[in-house]
A and B are shown apart, each in its own frame.
Chain A
Amino acid sequence: MGLESKLTQDGFITTTIDAVVSWARKSSVWPMPMGISCCAIEMIAAADPKYDIARFGSEVMRFTPRQCDLMIVAGTVTYKMAQVVRRIYDQMPDPKWVIAMGACTSSGGMYRSYSVVQGIDQFLPVDVYTAGCPPRPENLLNALMTIQEKIGKTKSRDFKNRSLKELELSQN
């Protein structure tokens, strides 16, 4: 009858480019493990066979920012470290996302102190905040699924070429 039924017989589906691209993006989010303190241990636990972050396509933890889509900031960010975190974030290719893992990164946590940044959203665009001190691996996986949901809703026009000026690295 219609075009769809004809194509389905021959093994075709119709969809949009945006749907395919965002599906591909969300199914293999490569994390940049920014493990700065104890949250990193739970992040490692999320990669082990029991919790198995590979189920979500994110097992490829790359220790170079140039191959990553998602920065998991796992640990207390001090003012001194903030410069480093931002520099690594700047080196990640667009499009990119950020998880603020745990109380310290989200709000400074128990470190209400002169040396600790009271929330990394003061210098990074955070997509998902994760509660806990440290959060359990399930919680991190939940954050990852939330990111995937967010990526799934993106359209290619959201990432149209930005002007050179916008892309300039921040001068630290």
Chain B
Amino acid sequence: MNPKEFITEKVKEKFGPALEEVSDFRDDLCLTIKSDRIVLLGNFLKTDPDLQFLMCKDVTAIDWSTRKKRFTIVYHVHSFKLNFTLRIKANIELDPPSIETVTSVWRSAEWYERETWDMYGIKFINHPDLRRMYMPEGFEHHPLRKDFPVIGIPGSLPLPHKAE
């Protein structure tokens, strides 16, 4: 059995209908999970002796702008045992958008989630240190949202005053 089928079967067996979608795009396996199960899935993927997805390589988000479930959180995790990178997606529609943090599973997700919070304004519940990553403290907008103008919002970022 190839690793894709193996992983899919394992997760299906464990999570049943909470696994919303399985896709295989350009040789990348992607599992879409219900957003409230993300930590359970993470724990399972990491601790299952046959899977051992020990490394979280990336956490980011997609802003679909007009969809009802506006944001999708995307995780990339890697298993050294299977030599396999898996993509996990979770659609969220809550307002304000929020999802449970996976830092309890993969510590490396901490800064990725901070970045995602900074850029998309998605709250990661129980995150140990959810501060802004790139934008200055006190900035009120989230630049990678589709409704944010590329040139920025005038006056939203302070400049030092010109003395002479």
Interface residues of A in 50-77 (CB under 8 A from B): none
The digit string for A132-172, where 1 denotes a CB below 8 A from any CB of B, is 00000000000000000000000000000000001000101
Chain A residues with CB below 8 A from B136, complex form? 79-80
Report how many residues on chain A are interfacial, defined by Cβ distance under 8 Å.
19
- CB distance A114 to B163 under 8 Å? no
Interface status of A93 (Cβ within 8 A of chain B) = no
Bound complex: CA A122 to CA B136 (Å)? 18
Interface status of B17 (Cβ within 8 A of chain A) = no
CB distance from B127 to the nearest CB of A (A): 22
Tell which of B135, B150, B159, B160 has the most Cβ of chain A within 10 Å: B160
CB distance from A168 to the nearest CB of B (A): 8
Chain A residues with CB below 8 A from B158, complex form? 79
Bound complex: CA A112 to CA B151 (Å)? 6
Interface status of B143 (Cβ within 8 A of chain A) = yes
- CB distance A114 to B148 under 8 Å? yes
Bound complex: CA A115 to CA B164 (Å)? 24
Chain B residues with CB below 8 A from A15, complex form? none
CB distance from A92 to the nearest CB of B (A): 12
Interface status of B25 (Cβ within 8 A of chain A) = no
Chain B: number of interface residues, binned into ranges: 10 to 19
- CB distance B149 to A123 under 8 Å? no
CB distance from B95 to the nearest CB of A (A): 23
Bound complex: CA A79 to CA B159 (Å)? 7
On whether A123 and B157 interact (CB within 8 A), knowing A112-B151, A113-B150, A114-B151, the answer reads no
- CB distance A123 to B152 under 8 Å? no
The digit string for B107-146, where 1 denotes a CB below 8 A from any CB of A, is 0000000000000000000000000001110000001000
29 contacts between A and B (CB under 8 A): A79-B158, A80-B134, A80-B136, A82-B160, A83-B160, A86-B160, A90-B163, A112-B150, A112-B151, A113-B150, A113-B152, A114-B143, A114-B149, A114-B153, A114-B157, A115-B134, A115-B143, A115-B152, A117-B159, A122-B159, A122-B162, A123-B159, A123-B161, A123-B162, A124-B162, A125-B162, A125-B164, A170-B163, A172-B160
Residues of A within 8 A of B (CB): 79-80, 82-83, 86-87, 90, 112-115, 117, 122-125, 166, 170, 172
